[in-house]
Structure formats: C-alpha cells, structure tokens
C-alpha cells in the first residue's frame, strides 16, 4: 500500500497507534476482500486531506491476526478510530467518504 497510509503489524501496533497522541484511523483489510479494494482509495484521499491532523494506517488482517482478534474485527473492511490510543469508533463496511469524514470530524473536536 503506497501513499500516506502507514502499514502496521501486530508488532508495531502498540507503538504506532496505541501510543499515538491524537486521532488515528486504522483500515483493517485483506487482499482478497472486494469491498476493501473499494474503500482503499477513499482512505488514501482522507489521508491526504487530513495530513498532519490524523494518522492513517492499514492493517492486513491475514498477516496480523493478534491485533485483529484483540479488537474483535469480524468483518472487513473495518475502520477503527483511536483517540490518544483508545478505540473510540468502529465503522464496518465500504461506507461512503462523507460518512468517514463525519466520524473523523466528530473525534477531532
């Protein structure tokens, strides 16, 4: 995954997301998941639009099952928002961009 989203793993998740000061959005995805491919460009657009305000990351659920299970991700794509390391919102499915913007704005305040 190129762009402004940071690929994270089970080993890096605590450092990159749980210890992050501010808002972080993590896209839980898999290569075989069609809806994941639909939402990926939307997440990239948001990463560009919110550069410097929100940290964006992607976590491959197949390669990182420990974190996937820890946050009870059962359907993908799932987008989880963390504020100062605490899970504050979970969005499941390939939702429209305005819906994700609404969730980001809600937690930026």
Does 109 qualify as catalytic in the annotation? no
**E runs forming strands in the chain:** 6-8, 23-29, 54-60, 78-83, 86-92
Catalytic residue among 24, 25, 36, 79: 36
Does 33 qualify as catalytic in the annotation? yes
Catalytic residue among 33, 43, 61, 100: 33
Could you tell me which of 106, 108, 81, 107 has the C-alpha nearest to residue 18? 81
Residues annotated as catalytic are: 33, 36
């Amino acid at each position: 995954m190129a762009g402004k989203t940071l690929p994270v793993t089970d080993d890096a998740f605590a450092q990159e997301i749980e210890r992050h000061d501010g808002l972080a959005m993590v896209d839980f995805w898999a290569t075989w998941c069609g809806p994941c491919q639909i939402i990926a460009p939307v997440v990239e657009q948001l990463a560009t639009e919110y550069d410097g305000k929100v940290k964006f990351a992607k976590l491959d659920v197949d390669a990182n099952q420990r974190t996937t299970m820890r946050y009870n991700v059962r359907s993908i794509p799932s987008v989880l928002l963390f504020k100062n390391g605490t899970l504050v919102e979970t969005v499941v499915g390939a939702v429209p961009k305005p819906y994700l913007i609404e969730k980001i704005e809600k937690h930026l305040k």
